[in-house]
Structure 1
Amino acid sequence: MPLHPDFNSLTGHTDEASPMNRRNFIQTAVGVGFAAATLPISAQTMIHTDSVGLLAGRVELSINGQTVPVYRAQPEGKSNLPVILVISEIFGVHEHIADVARRYAKLGYLALAPELLIRQGDAGSYAGIAELMKEVVSKVPDAQVMQDLDAVLVWAGQHGGDLERVGINGFCWGGRITWLYAAHNPRIKAGVAWYGRLSGPVNELSPQHPIDIAASLRSPVLGLYGGKDSGISLDSVRQMESALTKGHSGSEFHVYE
């Protein structure tokens, strides 16, 4: 998995993952199985990173009266660890997201993947993407996500994390959140956004998009996007690149043609 150079400077370890040997199954707990809306998934396409040498599994945080499950992975018996937030797509914290967290833990990070949609519903239980978007994702306020991530970082600082070394890595829906949170919290030193939406209509729940905060962004974000992605146009990527030139974050894009 490509890492931003700022991430690579935090630790000097490497990770090797073994092939996954389990067939398709539906999520039954945080970091276990796959969201129903992602099935079927071929086992041959998946990577499985073991938890040998790691403290890995579900923890629960109470945030503003809500229990928020978080998949945590970190090297066993170590502290003062750099922290990485792993932000899921709309499907929540399923096996792939948990695996990404374990990969970071193998590299020496305290990796935390919170269920940021939990107040609106169980993302893993929806069989259809349209229904999931309508019933859960469209109801999630950006402000709620920012507050939850702030609380996750507080917890990290109390459980072996070094809050002077914090990064964020997000996929799709989580890619958009990566841009926004890098601007929201000055503790973020670097981010990687995997094809997160950059612009769009604004409303009460989503008053800003990444393009709106580009000039004020201070931490470098690496945007990884697809040239043939019909959902996120190359025009929006180019517009974001232009907006970033008005700031000083050092952010950059890589477009996979």
Structure 2
Amino acid sequence: MTKRKTAAPVAIPAKAYELYDKYAHGMLNRRDFLTAIAGLAAGTATAATILGGLMPNYALAAQISFNDPDITARYQTFPAPEGHGEGRGYLVMPAKAEARLPVVLVIHENRGLNPYIEDVARRLAKAGFIAFAPDALWPLGGYPGNDDEGRQMQRSMDSQKIIADLKAATRWLKQLEAGSGKLGVVGFCFGGAMTGLLAAELPELVDAGVPFYGSPPPADKIANIKAPLLVQLGELDTRVNEMWPAAEALMTQHQVPYQMHRYPDSHHGFHNDSTARYNKETAELAWQRTIDFFRLHLS
């Protein structure tokens, strides 16, 4: 494992996390976001330090090197006839496998296949799974190298075609020659929402799902879910958390197997170790629960 880098502590006001969440999800434009951040600056917390702490630094997020000897990684295309025709993603496998392995689809946030998500795929391969992380931005050339542009690109795309591409990736992975036929899905933010959606719309394909701080599956499709779900939420993520009580009631009503964890002192994006939203203690606990959950349900 690559030695974990750490960033210097940054004093970030609580309001700044709320503003960043709105900006990252299209509820606040960049100019208004920067103006609001400037208004929070006080004492040693300048607008530049606040902004620097909120924006991702992907050099901090590499826990598993791309050339780790225990894994093999490559970019792989797949057919998506009902979507954009072709998709592409990051396929990572354990270097040595004596049998077919369970497969995990990794779905990124609302900005394309960034280095953090690629590292998540490597972490899964290091734990003994085949992992595949598709890039929704591939039809436009792929993740552009920065999140702001990536968000704009993803926002410009036909959401139904993105969903069709993700469904195509799911079908392709379910039949992967090296796979065992068992398929899990894990996603973050947008990817968390897509995890629940795929479980609801492809119940014959998804065997387990772990949505991290994503909106719940559509209410009228929750009854379709067969796969067990492990829902991972940050206690301070009120925007997403407010969506879940009604979904929980429906999952209970329809006997959907699920577990839910709300992690204390944790913001939206608490698992993303490239920003100040990262909460090391809860991220590591949530990730260990994810690995244990997949080992239980994909064995």
Q: What TM-score do the two structures reach when normalised by structure 1?
A: 0.71
**For the residues of structure 2 that align with 1:167 and 1:83, how far apart are their CA atoms?**
6
Q: Does 1:192 align with 2:210?
A: yes
| Aligned with residue 210 of structure 1, among 205, 214, 218 | 218
| Local SS of the residue matching 1:99 | helix
Q: Does 1:256 align with 2:263?
A: yes
Q: Is the 1:56–1:71 Cα contact (8 Å) retained in structure 2?
A: yes
| Aligned with residue 72 of structure 1, among 78, 82, 91 | 91
Considering fraction of residues, name the structure with more strand.
1
Q: Is the 1:190–1:221 Cα contact (8 Å) retained in structure 2?
A: yes
Q: Which residue in 2 is equivalent to 1:124?
A: 144
CA displacement, residues 119-159 of structure 1 (integer Å, 9 cap, x when unaligned): 3564435553xx65454236332464245433454256243
Q: Which residue in 1 is equivalent to 2:159?
A: 141
Change in Cα spacing, 1:227 to 1:49, as seen in structure 2 (3 Å) is same
CA displacement, residues 218-240 of structure 1 (integer Å, 9 cap, x when unaligned): 111111112211431x3322111
CA shift, 1:166, in A, is 0.9
Change in Cα spacing, 1:124 to 1:90, as seen in structure 2 (3 Å) is farther
Tell me the amino acid that sits aligned with residue 132 of structure 2.
L
**For the residues of structure 2 that align with 1:108 and 1:151, how far apart are their CA atoms?**
20
CA shift, 1:175, in A, is 0.1
- Identical counterparts, % of pairs: 27
**For the residues of structure 1 that align with 2:85 and 2:140, how far apart are their CA atoms?**
11
| Aligned with residue 167 of structure 1, among 163, 178, 184 | 184
Change in Cα spacing, 1:235 to 1:225, as seen in structure 2 (3 Å) is same
Describe how 1:48-59 pairs up with structure 2 within 5 A: 48-50=63-65, 51-59=68-76
Tell me the amino acid that sits aligned with residue 217 of structure 1.
I
Q: Does 1:92 align with 2:112?
A: yes
Q: Is the 1:121–1:136 Cα contact (8 Å) retained in structure 2?
A: no
Change in Cα spacing, 1:42 to 1:188, as seen in structure 2 (3 Å) is closer
| Local SS of the residue matching 2:110 | coil
The size of the alignment, in residue pairs, is: 212
- Give the number of the structure whose alpha-carbon radius of gyration is greater: 2
Q: Is the 2:58–2:115 Cα contact (8 Å) retained in structure 1?
A: no
Q: Does 1:183 align with 2:200?
A: yes
Change in Cα spacing, 1:75 to 1:134, as seen in structure 2 (3 Å) is closer
**For the residues of structure 2 that align with 1:210 and 1:252, how far apart are their CA atoms?**
18
Unmatched tracts of structure 2, length 5 or more: 8-53, 265-299
| Aligned with residue 2 of structure 2, among 18, 34, 37 | 18
Q: Is the 1:218–1:247 Cα contact (8 Å) retained in structure 2?
A: no
RMSD, matched Cα: 2.8
| Aligned with residue 235 of structure 2, among 227, 232, 241 | 227
Tell me the amino acid that sits aligned with residue 57 of structure 2.
I
Considering fraction of residues, name the structure with more helix.
2
Change in Cα spacing, 1:60 to 1:222, as seen in structure 2 (3 Å) is same
Q: Which residue in 2 is equivalent to 1:111?
A: 131
Unmatched tracts of structure 1, length 5 or more: 1-16, 24-37, 199-208
CA displacement, residues 146-186 of structure 1 (integer Å, 9 cap, x when unaligned): 454334542562431122x1100000000000000011221
| Local SS of the residue matching 1:231 | helix
Q: Which residue in 2 is equivalent to 1:3?
A: none
CA shift, 1:196, in A, is 0.5
Q: Is the 2:114–2:145 Cα contact (8 Å) retained in structure 1?
A: no
